[in-house]
Amino acid sequence: MFYIRRYQLFLVIAGCIVFIFYYAADYSRLKYPASYPEPAAPPQIPVRFSKLPENFPVTSFKPLPTVVPAKLPVIQCSFDDETPTENIRRGQRTKAVRENFKHAWEGYKTYAWLKDEVTPISGQHMSTFNGWAATLVDTLDTLWIMGLHQEFEEAVKAVESIDFTMSANSMVNVFETTIRYLGGLLGAYDISGGKYPSLVQKASDIGEILYAAFDTPNRMPVTRWELLAYVRGDRQTAAATTLVAELGSLTLEFTRLSQLTGNPKYYDAVERISDLFEAQQNSTKLPGMWPVVVNAAAGSLTADGYFTLGGMSDSVYEYLPKQHMILGGAVDRYRKMYEAAIKTVTKNLLFRPMTKNNEDVLISGNVRVSEAEGVQLITEGQHLTCFIGGVIGISAKIFNRPDDLVTARKLVDGCIWAYESMPTGIMPEIFQAVPCESKDSCEWNEQTWYRAITKGQYRGGLLDPD
């Protein structure tokens, strides 16, 4: 009996090793579409920004909407009164989160103050985002939310000393700089009730620098912007290979900057991008969605055939309802774009995974479209897609789509299921799942699951028809 058990253990271990090597050899297929450009580390060449005359100036700016904003529906749920036990438990959890945050913040202050990132093991720091204190700026609103107002004011004073014209790196990632720096400064200004005007001034400083990346023939931004080439006076053009999230996720921050400064050029810049997205939304290989890779130089969003709500695409879809909200519902096209997108997502990307307890949950997968094989669902889950349940939930409220709350809940439950399925209690960043034949009913089938992970019939999330 001992020999048999040992032999069975050997088979399990051997199968796991084969499985690991099998996927390791093909990992790029699981994580990135074939056309995705692998990001290079930004060159560590300090550059001083100096604004130059524009080669392709805008002669007429699209103004912010002047109509009275609509009264948007309330998003938040109205919870029942807490019991004393529930109140104590929530207080304990709140305290634990706050104490963990304070620990991380003190570590940053001690080892990397005014630097981009702390390296927690060595106690050193890195200039990953141009050396403009990314962690500090990106954490401002969290300090306020946590009630750490003294630390917030200390951080605001530190922000005032940042010279955004001096970059530690020669390459500026326009998307990352927008969401971390511009968004961080504007979010902190708004959440603190507009009491710290220096935050808007600093946002204007970084906004002016970023605006120079839009000086291209078609006014599409250079998303991986070579600052050194710009200050030399080289003429710019947007990239022929651009990640869709980097092009389509600038609207909120640029719009809010125009709202606070009264300067319409920032809103105009992102509206030109939105014009492009709206015009081509129903002309892609999966109408309603935009592919991961687009050609910003040619203004073409239709060539690639890989679609996802995960990395490299996620925030495009997140920003649609939020842009509707930040404009007070005054521009209806973001609602229309969202509704077209979510219709396609629901039909083609969402699937029910087969689970041992037959949980009624949903996962957002990926889709590959080709002439030879048509629309193929890749039943791969990503941690990055966990945002979509919240986005669909918000949109269900503001666009009066109550039935979508059911979908939103199942997507959130899908991420909870993925967390609870792991021995560590931590959801994998990327994982494969065996899909149910129907979203409505699904029974666990041990043989189907076992075959999928042991016999090589589940490459890249695509079930082998044999």
For the record, the structure tokens of 210 come out as 């970023």
Compute the half-sphere exposure of residue 144: CA atoms within 13 Å on the CB side of its CA: 19
The reply to whether 54 belongs to the active site is no
B/e letters for 221-250, b = 16+ CB within 10 Å, e = fewer, are bbbbbbbbebbeeeebbbbeebbbbbbbbb
- The answer to whether 286 and 369 are in contact (CB under 8 A) is yes
**What span, in angstroms and rounded, lies between the C-alpha atoms of 171 and 179?**
16
Return left, alpha or beta for 65; rule: phi > 0 is left, psi -120 to 50 is alpha, else beta.
Answer: beta
Nearest to 363 by CA among 320, 421, 304, 425: 421
Pairing of strands 224-226, 171-173: antiparallel
CA 25 to chain centre: 27
Nearest to 188 by CA among 165, 211, 156, 163: 156
Find the radius of gyration of the CA atoms of the chain: 24
For the record, the structure tokens of 409 come out as 């809940």
Q: Which residue type, as a one-letter code, is found at position 40? A: A
Q: Which of 54, 106, 429, 437 is catalytic?
A: 429
450-459 LR contacts (CB < 8 Å, sep 24+): 453/19, 454/15, 454/19, 456/22, 458/432, 458/434, 459/26, 459/29
The two counts, helices (H) then strands (E), for the chain are: 18, 15
For the record, the structure tokens of 325 come out as 């909200």
**What span, in angstroms and rounded, lies between the C-alpha atoms of 281 and 275?**
10
Residues contacting residue 352 through CB under 8 Å, at least 6 positions apart: 360, 361, 362, 363, 435, 436, 438, 439, 442
Residues contacting residue 227 through CB under 8 Å, at least 6 positions apart: 47, 49, 167, 169, 170, 171, 172
Residues contacting residue 108 through CB under 8 Å, at least 6 positions apart: 118, 135, 136, 139
Active site residues: 429
